[in-house]
A and B are shown apart, each in its own frame.
Chain A
């Protein structure tokens, strides 16, 4: 604003000094800078993790310091909320302070001083008739005129200062909206297994959880994942029913960007997980020289123990495995090779080994020994569930181990023939079965695995992970946002101009006030006006 309109009005003179202080530019700029700078802290320090995490990453001293300063749950720390509150107060104070001035400057032209004390620019040209002046000014968008003897006062953009109010009021609205969301609302999670229902929401609070009970049950009728041809998930969806006293209140299929809203509570598709899918696999114990089989029926998440220190944990069922089949490292050829289970074997003798067992590729052996992230892939040659071939392999390895003296291809062939005999397999199948057995022998000798597995079948049982939120501030946020955008455009592209023209004998004196601190637009306008005032009427009117 130009200085002329800057003196405080009667009302604002009586505003408490505190309001004037809060509304002052230094305070506003300091608060805005403070918010910008402190906001970065929470983006550098990971928020809301548990104590062990911070202790291991930061060490006890820094951990205690940061914790005490509230840096580890920063966006709900008292001092941070205080900055936000002060900002809202500052903007409210600015609104209060500018209100009276707004009414004063937006009055009809009658109330405006006949000739300004100060102005932002002007010029003097030879006089011309009043009608011409008004025509020219109208062409430049001036739409209010007041004539007072030898004086003409013109204005455009009378209501442009509304932009200021819209923008700053929107900051207050958005601030109040945000505070009501964080104080009165909640945001938590529910994991509901397919076919089951629940009414407890777990709400994270700092590093803990609070439980909240809904007055109705949320039932997961069905959860499903859609896939692209490559096997990547393309959509997650849950069929939800809200049920109270056996009555279905509402039903909806929700997807990731399409939640269910009911009485102020919103249910979002957030994630999913295994709720204990049933799996069936075959286990081969290679530590016993007969390689006996054992059929296992269990569920994901269970641990099997043999009572002698060996544990087998069913870690994960993956229904789809997308792998890159391309030989060329620059290219990607994605293929879905179907379901697998991850098993973790813990045995005192051979340590931890994780296995990935594929349903569709039983002869493929994928495992990672203890401490290794990288999977080793081998082709066993046949399925560990194949009793005949596993038996043959066991018999053959036993024969080989009983060989005396030097082991030559001939003695091996003899051992193989003996093994075939032991298994009651016709010797003419030696050529057919031999390569697979040799293949398996090579693999097993290379890796010394205590067990092999074959994955037979599964019945999936999944839970849907819902984010549940109540957000009473949201309407204020959206109203405030609309107001903000509207106000911004008004503020940046619509300004008030006032022009006084005074006839002084043979000369015309013009001066202008411009309500935005941009030099060029005013200079441009004045230059054009001067041009049009000095060129003969015939050309300017053309």
Chain B
């Protein structure tokens, strides 16, 4: 790289205090909107209200629409490269992400009204999937604002769309309403554990999106085509950055899970399928970091590794519940 392009990219990189200001503003906006929504809904709530009538459910639907639209526009942006199109994509993704986070905050409040004992809304599959889609979008948008590259949205937002599809499937099975917690789930350790876990999952999703983008650009370069995607170096750096966010968070999550198990089940580790698979996820990314730090691997191989790692992550999140916990009946062997 010549020093001229280097200086240009350095000059373009935004100033970190203004970025922080931007994200803090968004946080305040989210909180106040959620506050308003709660204020508006408070009188209508009654115990046992069906979930379709809850404000959080409606908010989620609209927010999901925005997220799906943003995914489409990111794809269009990738194709047509117009700056104004990219702005729309970012705007819609931001609005959708805020909408889902708001819906979760509202739902937290609602659970206290419609259940005997309210709780933080990250305790069933529907709620954590919402949380996952919001966090994936959030982590992506943060990286977008740092690296000023919108092309990656076309790789990450489709993952969010898949999560939304999964939510709709859960809705169709009626597994959506706020539910009372079984005694074992009443633990602050557990809530912190889930929170950290899904920040980790979200970051790994972003890393996989970046990895896919890397592979696509690398293919274009091999074929001698020019590509609108960010340079290989930048993409590689984004992939690493996402994993550097995800790995420590996921580590904290696993430790919090162990702390929960220690209080609830009498042992911090019992090699049950979920625990074992989270260890496997952890090992996958630990190997990634070794290969990168010590062997100096980068580029295509690491891009594949990031995608593989996300595959393992998804299996840990869903596959274990779908295929392995039912194993007591041995159904799937």
Contacts and interface: CB of A to CB of B under 8 A. Distances in A.
Interface of A: 25, 28-29, 32-33, 35-36, 39-40, 42-47, 57, 75, 123, 178, 181, 187, 228-230, 232-236, 255-259, 266, 268, 270, 330-333, 467-469, 471, 474, 477-478, 481, 484-485, 488-489, 492-493, 516-521, 523-524, 526-528, 530-531
16 contacts: A32-B290, A33-B283, A36-B283, A39-B280, A40-B280, A178-B269, A187-B266, A233-B183, A257-B184, A331-B50, A467-B265, A469-B267, A481-B255, A492-B248, A520-B236, A527-B10
B276 interface: yes
Given A518-B240, A531-B10, A485 B251 contact: yes
Main secondary structure of the interface of B (DSSP, over half): helix
Contacts of B276: 39-40, 42-43
B287 A234 contact: no
Given A57-B333, A228-B180, A517-B292, 15 more contacts: A36-B280, A40-B280, A44-B324, A45-B333, A57-B330, A181-B268, A228-B117, A234-B181, A234-B183, A478-B259, A485-B248, A518-B237, A519-B237, A527-B10, A531-B10
A530 B5 CA distance: 12
A508 B45 CA distance: 71
B223 interface: no
Contacts of B6: 523-524, 526-527, 530
Contacts of A331: 50
A485 B252 contact: yes
Given A43-B324, A57-B333, A187-B267, A527 B9 contact: yes
B291 interface: yes
B293 A234 contact: no
B187 interface: yes
Contacts of B296: 517
Contacts of A234: 116-117, 180-181, 183
Interface in B243-288: 244, 247-248, 251-252, 255, 258-260, 262-269, 271, 273, 276-277, 279-280, 283-284, 286-287
Nearest to A124: B3
B295 interface: yes
Contacts of A28: 290
Interface of B: 1, 3, 6-7, 9-11, 13, 47-48, 50, 115-117, 174, 177, 180-184, 186-187, 189, 233-234, 236-237, 240, 244, 247-248, 251-252, 255, 258-260, 262-269, 271, 273, 276-277, 279-280, 283-284, 286-287, 290-296, 298, 320, 324, 327-328, 330, 333
A492 B248 CA distance: 9
B11 to A, nearest CB: 7
Contacts of B117: 228, 234
Contacts of A488: 247-248, 251
A527 B3 contact: yes
Given A32-B283, A43-B277, A492-B244, A531 B7 contact: yes
Nearest to A492: B244
B265 A270 contact: yes
A493 B243 CA distance: 12
Contacts of B237: 518-521
A311 to B, nearest CB: 29
B267 A25 contact: no
A516 B180 contact: no
A33 B285 CA distance: 11
Contacts of A523: 1, 6, 233
Contacts of A40: 276-277, 280
A312 B159 CA distance: 57
Q: Which A-B residue pairs are the 6 nearest by beta carbons?
A: A527-B6, A467-B266, A43-B273, A256-B183, A520-B237, A268-B266
B290 A266 contact: no
A481 B258 contact: yes
Given A25-B294, A234-B183, A485-B248, A528 B266 contact: no
Contacts of B174: 330, 332
Contacts of A521: 237
A486 B316 CA distance: 25
Nearest to A56: B330
A270 B264 CA distance: 8
A57 B332 CA distance: 11
Nearest to A75: B271
Contacts of A35: 279, 283
Contacts of B330: 46, 57
Contacts of A42: 271, 276
A411 B119 CA distance: 65
Contacts of A44: 324, 327, 333
B7 A477 contact: no
B232 to A, nearest CB: 10
A100 to B, nearest CB: 17
A424 to B, nearest CB: 50
Nearest to B291: A29
A44 B49 CA distance: 40
A270 B269 CA distance: 16
A493 B320 CA distance: 32
Contacts of A259: 263, 266
B7 A530 contact: yes
A469 B10 CA distance: 57
A258 B255 CA distance: 18
Nearest to B263: A257
A459 B48 CA distance: 32
Contacts of B1: 523
Contacts of A520: 233-234, 236-237
B258 A493 contact: no
A39 B279 contact: yes
